[in-house]
Amino acid sequence: MSRPVKRTIAILIFSEFLMLLGMSLIWPVMPFIKNDLHLSALDMGIMSSLYALTQFVTSPIIGRMSDKLGRKPILIGGLALFAVSEVLFALTNHLYMFDLSRIIGGLAAGMYMPTAQALAADVTNHRQRAKVIGWLSAALSGGLILGPGLSGILANYGYKTPFWFAAGLGIAGMLATIFWLPDDRKLEKFQDTLVQPQASADWKAVLTGPMVMLFTLILVSSFGLQGFESIYSIFVNEVFHFTLNDIALVLTLNGIISLTIQVLFFARLIIWLGEIKLTRIAFFASAAAVGWILVTHAKWAVTVATLIAFTAFDLLRPAITTLLTKQSRDNQGVINGLNMSLTSVGNIVGPLISSALLDWNYHVPYLVVVIFLAASFALTYTVRLHAKTA
């Protein structure tokens, strides 16, 4: 790689980590916003879903815009809007403004993340691309995993403090992009000619055989994660009387454990168990852990079960995604696009259903999550893989 390309990749990784870190700061402070402003769990669920819905709707539109306008202006705009959304969230105490803040945040994510992926693909050749996309994915995962724990710590100085901090991260990323990111129109770009997908053939090939079941498992795992995570802090605060420090400790431990396992042990687990066995174990472990939370009365047990559940979720998605990419060599664009779309659907629907059920009964949302995860565990036995991935 040339020096400008290396600097481009470094800025993308830095800014994506900061943005995802800021996006995930909301989770630990949700019960305190809810209680302080006398909101319902459904209000909080709508807040979460508006973000995912806006990102889902705007991502393909913004992708086409970045092709015409260039990547750098879209990246700068996404980071600026992210900072605006966090400042708005920190300033307001009105529900409609919280919702507006999350819509702006979803637009920021829809602008930044697909554009960053596109720019990374523009400036790398076929051999380099998988490694660079892996770095961007690690930055995304790292931000999502570490953000809640950091939020819990910052919220000790006031539950609005994490959002001021996130706004500062957005501004830092924006300034780094303005001054240090090279103009993408002047960088050498690579065009792969190995694969020329044909849309009708792609969709027909993708939605057959074991692929349908794997996509179903992607949707269910996304729903399960968001159904669990989106109400977690509210649930443990109101049912087990977890304090802000308790929530921060649990989420910080989860971040450290999950990131360590993903970085150091995921590849080894795939070699040892294979993707389908790892997926099966992760579904079983997550269902058992969420079920344990429903029946226990001890804080230590809730903490241990939470760590098991989150770790299982963090293994599920990359394991299933790896399986998907191995099932077809010629349809990676369609596979990854459908993967992201189904993940977004789970991110939209999960918080809405869980928060609505939480207002009705505190234990019903997690009972529904357990049922879905247990059913998915059973469905893994119906997946018949191609011989090359077995």
Would you kindly state where each structural domain of the chain is located, as residue ranges?
1-187, 199-385
Query: Nearest CA to 314 among 352, 277, 273, 263?
Result: 263
pLDDT of 7: 87
Q: Which of 164-168, 313-317, 354-358, 382-386 has the lowest mean pLDDT?
A: 382-386
Q: Are 21 and 77 in contact (CB under 8 A)?
A: no
- CA angle (330 as vertex; 214, 327 as ends), nearest 5: 30
pLDDT band at 389, cuts 50/70/90? very low
pLDDT of 284: 96
User: How far apart, in whole angstroms, are the C-alpha atoms of residue 245 and residue 172?
Assistant: 28
Residue 138 has pLDDT above 80, yes or no: no
Q: If you average pLDDT over every residue of the chain, what do you get?
A: 82
Residue 163 has pLDDT above 70, yes or no: yes
pTM of the model: 0.77
Q: What is the pLDDT of residues 50-109, one digit of tens each?
A: 988 888 888 778 877 877 888 899 999 999 999 999 999 999 989 999 999 999 998 998
The CA R_g of the chain, rounded to the nearest whole Å, is 21
Return the higher-pLDDT residue of 11 and 335. Answer: 11
Average pLDDT (339-363) is 85
Average pLDDT (224-237) is 88
pLDDT of 188: 57
Give Cβ neighbours of residue 339 (< 8 Å, ≥ 6 apart).
Answer: 215, 218, 321, 324
Identify the CATH class of 199-385. mainly alpha
pLDDT band at 340, cuts 50/70/90? low
pLDDT band at 205, cuts 50/70/90? low
Average pLDDT (250-279) is 83
pLDDT of 288: 96
pLDDT of 388: 46
pLDDT of 185: 65
Q: Strands of 149-256 (E only): list them.
A: none
Q: What is the pLDDT of residues 15-53, one digit of tens each?
A: 888 888 877 787 788 888 888 889 999 999 898 889 888
Give Cβ neighbours of residue 52 (< 8 Å, ≥ 6 apart).
Answer: 106, 226, 344, 347, 348, 351
Average pLDDT (119-136) is 73
Return the higher-pLDDT residue of 229 and 187. Answer: 229
Q: Which of 105-109, 132-136, 197-201, 228-232 has the lowest mean pLDDT?
A: 197-201
pLDDT of 90: 92
Using a pLDDT cut of 70, give the percent of the chain over it. Answer: 85
193 DSSP 8-state letter: -
Return the higher-pLDDT residue of 191 and 355. Answer: 355
Return the higher-pLDDT residue of 386 and 208. Answer: 208
Return the higher-pLDDT residue of 249 and 131. Answer: 249
Residue 386 has pLDDT above 70, yes or no: no
Q: Topology of 1-187 in CATH?
A: Growth Hormone; Chain: A; (1.20.1250)
pLDDT band at 209, cuts 50/70/90? low
Return the higher-pLDDT residue of 388 and 206. Answer: 206
pLDDT of 309: 93
Tokens of 384: 């018949």
Average pLDDT (193-200) is 43
Residue 262 has pLDDT above 80, yes or no: no
262 DSSP 8-state letter: I
Tokens of 153: 């710590």
pLDDT of 197: 44
Return the higher-pLDDT residue of 269 and 385. Answer: 269
pLDDT band at 280, cuts 50/70/90? very high
One fold for 1-187 and 199-385: yes
